[in-house]
Structure 1
Amino acid sequence: MTPAALSRLRLTDFRNFETLDLDLDTRPVCLSGPNGSGKTNILEAISLLAPGRGLRGAESEEVLRREGDAAATAWAVYAEARDTGGDTASLASGLLEGGRRQTRMNGKPGSRAALSEFLPMIVLLPEHDRLFAGPRADRLKFFDRLVSASDPAHGETLTAYEKLRSRRQRLLERGRADPHWLSALETDLAGHGVGLAAGRLAALSRLQDAIDTAQDDVFPKADLALSGLIEAHLAEGAELRDAEDRLADAFAEGRDRDAAAGRTLTGGPHRSDLTARHRGKNQPAGRCSTGEQKALIIRLVLAQAQSLATGGHRMPLLLLDEACAHLDAERRAGLAAAILALGAQAWLTGVEASLFSSFGDRAQHFSVESGAVQAVA
């Protein structure tokens, strides 16, 4: 499918922007400026056009523009998007007066599937620089977002699984749940859990293929794996129904332990982990330098975008915050070349315009300072 790109972006009372109105073409967008100028705020605004709470996970009231003790009462993000095939859409997200957020597509409430299908996004943030050395939950969250870019239903499955898991935990801690009702809930929970694990494994296979077939050697290749009870069972060739029964039994057997612990220790997909090994150095990614880990993560992002494009999905919008940090000149040039080869509209931020010199006039350059944005020739 053809890539989609933003052709216009408007912000009203969002973070440090009273107003912003950018007219754009399909080229990558490079935003440079000092720390605190509002570069990441622009990426966050774009991310709120997708399902969820944006790249910072902020509550709707948190992004209201403030001056001193006074705050705006509503904010809005509006964008016009088009693809090279001629399809267009208007997208809007905002907090209405009264505290209710709405996301709309072509003037109508936008469903998760419709938004994700027309304008999928992949986000890379500075906190991902040492993702493989950090907490397991952060790696899993990052990977689930990659999967959701190609499969909007994955996010819905994850949400349903977490809601059921929370409901089961509350019932266990109260200690008065009907065993038959609890068994039915655990059966439902296991069904969503196995679906979640199966979706991750399928996405991992496609992602690994894209990494393996990449032609450049600028960014290192990683050997990826998902470790978890259900992932291991499915990888051994188990039928989905057998895996669901096994997980439901595990939940039933773990009731007393989970109730006493106050959390779900039973090994469902919420306890899985994404592991990576630097192929060239033959060592766990978590033991690599910050620069090497950053390069591995960039390889994952580029490979996922390529996987989507070759798999019949729309090329995603890439939101790359401080993407060039920890990269030497060769890898900065390699990143620019890879993005241009993909044909994706990537939004990149950095403190210096020189970080994006490899793009030349093949990108749109803007300077950002104190909530003001100026085009740079």
Structure 2
Amino acid sequence: MLTRLTLTDFRNHASASLSPNAGFVMLSGPNGAGKTNIIEAVSLLSPGRGLRRAPLREMARQDGPGGFAIAAKMGEDADIGTGTLPAAPDRRQLRINGTAQPVARLGEWISVLWLTPAMDRLFTDTKSARRAFLDRLVLALEPAHAHHASRYEAAMRARNKLLAEPETADADWLAALEAGMAEHGEALGQARTRTVAALGEAMAAMPTGDFPRAGLALDGWEGGDLARLLRDSRGRDGKAGRTLVGPHRQDLEVTYLEKSQPAALGSTGEQKALLIGLILAHGELVADQRGKPPILLLDEVAAHLDPDRRAALYARLEGRGQVWMTATESSLFDGVSGSRFHVEAGTITPN
């Protein structure tokens, strides 16, 4: 768990810090106060661009010097610092216990899951949005997933660039890039398959209740000799301007088990409940497989649940690790014990 979080020139927080305890961490305050910015900072303690997937330069405070810093203490195990410098606002840096590290290594130290209002439309959103969601689930279980994803994407970008100019493309370099894509692409596909299978079993075993069960399946890429498929697809890919075969074409299919229908056909409330159930089940799976629960970030989730389902959510989360929650009204956290903070105009006050 996080025992201390310090923000410098991050979003609307010029300088702010808080020291939460284990269990629930509740942030309340008016809209625009900076509550989501705080949990976005926590989400950046894992690989990737965080819960908003925003460009790094947008995270720096508008009236600040141009860079930002996030410092976190993880119990007695690690001091983590990440952020950007004003001279390089698009390059994220990371230090763990004072030593520079690649950002992909964050997954070895901490697993973070989140649920935001923007994710309510996940089941009707694009394939890339669901794929990004799936990769976040995989990463929490298998930290090496970030390494394979970054290597695969880098090799694919370089290959697409070569295919755009076939007359001058180096055949040996093209083959080497495709070999790299095959190696890392196979690892990506296998990790996703393992996660979907394990999570699907966990969801199927869950009793029916306030949060319905989801059935999971992968679509769009079933594996195979990727190096050969890429070689055979060079002409088509060159004309299309992108790579048309590989694990980057996968999609996560979600079914509402009790109704035997695609999740996308459910009501808004049903989709919300399905998504919460999925996140809860995955958090329990992470705790079981990695021996410690993930940090869970819930942005404005309580406001969209009726009192009974809200109480069921809190009961399900009790004792499940550190859970950060935001709300405009502190009354939405009534009956919940934990660390409470009031956030207003970039200022954090214990409540």
**Is contact 1:49-1:103 (8 Å) kept?**
no
Taking only aligned residues, the RMSD between alpha carbons, in angstroms, comes to 1.9
Quick check: 100-109 or 176-185, which moved more? Answer: 176-185
Question: Cα offset for 1:129?
Answer: 0.6
- Deviation per residue, 1:309-344 (Å, 9 max, x gap): 1113431111121222432212211111111142x1
Match of 1:148 in 2: 139
Looking at structure 1, the residues matched to 290 and 208 of structure 2 have their Cα atoms a distance apart, in angstroms, of: 23
Match of 1:265 in 2: 244
- Deviation per residue, 1:251-293 (Å, 9 max, x gap): 1222111111112222x11111100110112211001112211
Summarize the Cα distance change of 1:170–1:114 in structure 2 as closer, same or farther, 3 Å threshold: closer
Match of 1:299 in 2: 277
**Is contact 2:23-2:319 (8 Å) kept?**
no
Q: 2:253 aligns with which of 269, 275, 282?
A: 275
Structure-2-length-normalised TM-score:
0.93
Match of 1:239 in 2: none
Any residues of structure 2 matched to 1:321-340 within 5 Å, and which?
A: 321-340=299-318
Looking at structure 1, the residues matched to 142 and 60 of structure 2 have their Cα atoms a distance apart, in angstroms, of: 31
Quick check: 218-227 or 349-358, which moved more? Answer: 349-358
- Deviation per residue, 1:290-315 (Å, 9 max, x gap): 22111111111111111111113431
Question: Cα offset for 1:9?
Answer: 1.4
Q: Does 1:89 align with 2:44?
A: no
Match of 2:343 in 1: 368
Consecutive unaligned residues in structure 2, runs of 5 or more: none
Looking at structure 1, the residues matched to 139 and 305 of structure 2 have their Cα atoms a distance apart, in angstroms, of: 27
Quick check: 106-115 or 195-204, which moved more? Answer: 106-115
Summarize the Cα distance change of 1:135–1:363 in structure 2 as closer, same or farther, 3 Å threshold: same
Match of 1:11 in 2: 7
Looking at structure 2, the residues matched to 129 and 192 of structure 1 have their Cα atoms a distance apart, in angstroms, of: 31
Summarize the Cα distance change of 1:186–1:115 in structure 2 as closer, same or farther, 3 Å threshold: closer
Looking at structure 1, the residues matched to 294 and 327 of structure 2 have their Cα atoms a distance apart, in angstroms, of: 21
**Is contact 1:120-1:314 (8 Å) kept?**
no
Q: Does 1:185 align with 2:177?
A: yes
Q: Does 1:206 align with 2:198?
A: yes
**Is contact 1:144-1:200 (8 Å) kept?**
yes
Quick check: 350-359 or 203-212, which moved more? Answer: 350-359
Consecutive unaligned residues in structure 1, runs of 5 or more: 234-242
Match of 2:212 in 1: 220
Match of 1:134 in 2: 125
Summarize the Cα distance change of 1:250–1:113 in structure 2 as closer, same or farther, 3 Å threshold: closer
Looking at structure 1, the residues matched to 52 and 327 of structure 2 have their Cα atoms a distance apart, in angstroms, of: 18
Q: 2:323 aligns with which of 339, 342, 346?
A: 346
Q: Does 1:106 align with 2:84?
A: no
**Is contact 1:158-1:192 (8 Å) kept?**
yes
Looking at structure 1, the residues matched to 176 and 59 of structure 2 have their Cα atoms a distance apart, in angstroms, of: 40
**Is contact 1:95-1:102 (8 Å) kept?**
yes
